Amino acid sequence: MKGSDFNEDWRFKAANREAIVGCVLAAVNILWWFGFAYGLGSKPPEEYTYVLGFPAWFFWSCIVGYLVMVVLVFIVVKFVLKEMPLEDEDESEEEDSA
Per-domain boundaries in the chain: 10-81
- Confidence at residue 1, expressed as pLDDT on a 0 to 100 scale: 47
- Confidence at residue 40, expressed as pLDDT on a 0 to 100 scale: 84
- Confidence at residue 51, expressed as pLDDT on a 0 to 100 scale: 95
Whole-structure pTM value: 0.74
- Confidence at residue 11, expressed as pLDDT on a 0 to 100 scale: 85
Buried b (16+ CB within 10 A) or exposed e, 6-44: eeeeeeeeeeeeeeeeeeeeeeebeebbeebbeebeeee
Which phi and psi angles does 59 have, rounded to 5°?
Answer: -60, -50
Per-residue pLDDT of the chain (98 residues; tens, 9 = 90+): 455 555 678 888 888 999 999 999 999 999 999 999 888 888 888 999 999 999 999 999 999 999 999 999 999 999 998 888 878 766 656 666 65
Distance between CA atoms of residues 85 and 95, nearest Å: 14
Angle, CA 39 vertex, CA 33 and CA 45 arms, to 5°? 105
- Confidence at residue 4, expressed as pLDDT on a 0 to 100 scale: 53
60 burial level (CB within 10 Å; 0-12, 13-18, 19+): buried
Report which DSSP code applies to 83: -
